[in-house]
């Protein structure tokens, strides 16, 4: 069996801060030629992007792929709506979950897997302000404990 290679292009850390991620899915990304070249150079941002399901198809909005420098007239609009490729049963499952109150779809990361552009989608529900504060407090506590452990082991 061949070894899978993955090259991370963009990561959405803000999604983990703003949402509880319940489930993740992998979707293919439909791109045009110069967009692929630009993404291979790491020129992609998914910070402000979101995902919608329309007419049984999945689309990502607000995903910024910078124009390729040598692309001239072949470059597409950097913020154009991009289609995601998923199986019908996955789309139906996501549609059922989204109908529930409070659920949304957020892109978590964009990467190349065996030469193909993929997006990891998270089925998420929003955190309240006190949840975010709690998460920050836990992270700080863990960081302090690691620092103390490191100091103790130095002597």
pTM metric for this prediction = 0.72
CA angle at residue 74 from 72 to 78, to 5 degrees?
90
pLDDT value, residue 46? 83
Rg (CA), the chain: 19
Structure tokens at 26: 């992998």
pLDDT value, residue 4? 64
Domains and CATH numbers, the chain: 6-128 (2.40.280.10)
Distance CA 136, CA 113 (A): 32
Asked if residues 66 and 43 have their Cβ atoms less than 8 Å apart, the reply is yes
DSSP E strands, the chain: 6-11, 19-29, 44-45, 50-54, 57-61, 64-65, 82-85, 103-113, 116-126
Q: What is the number of other CB atoms lying within 10 angstroms of the CB of residue 115?
A: 9
CA 4, 112, 21, 12 torsion-angle sign: positive
pLDDT, tens digit (0-9, with 9 covering 90-100), for 91-144: 888 888 888 777 888 888 888 888 888 888 888 877 777 667 877 888 888 888
Asked if residues 40 and 115 have their Cβ atoms less than 8 Å apart, the reply is no
Coil/strand/helix, residue 145: helix
Asked if residues 132 and 17 have their Cβ atoms less than 8 Å apart, the reply is yes
pLDDT, tens digit (0-9, with 9 covering 90-100), for 37-64: 888 888 888 888 888 888 888 898 888 8
Strand partners of residue 137: none
- Tell me 120's DSSP state: E
């Amino acid at each position: 069996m061949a070894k899978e290679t993955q090259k991370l292009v963009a990561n959405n850390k803000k999604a983990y801060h703003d949402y509880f991620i319940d489930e993740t899915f992998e979707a293919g990304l439909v791109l045009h030629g110069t967009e692929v070249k630009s993404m291979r150079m790491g020129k992609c941002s998914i910070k402000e992007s979101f995902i919608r399901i329309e007419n049984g198809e999945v689309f990502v909005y607000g995903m910024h792929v910078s124009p390729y420098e040598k692309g001239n007239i072949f470059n597409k609009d950097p913020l154009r709506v991009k289609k995601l490729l998923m199986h019908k049963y996955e789309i139906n499952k996501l549609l059922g979950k989204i109908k529930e109150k409070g659920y949304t779809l957020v892109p978590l990361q964009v990467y190349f897997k065996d030469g193909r552009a993929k997006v990891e989608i998270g089925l998420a529900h929003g955190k309240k302000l006190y949840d975010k504060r709690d998460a920050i407090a836990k992270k700080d506590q863990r960081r302090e404990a690691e620092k103390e452990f490191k100091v103790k082991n130095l002597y």
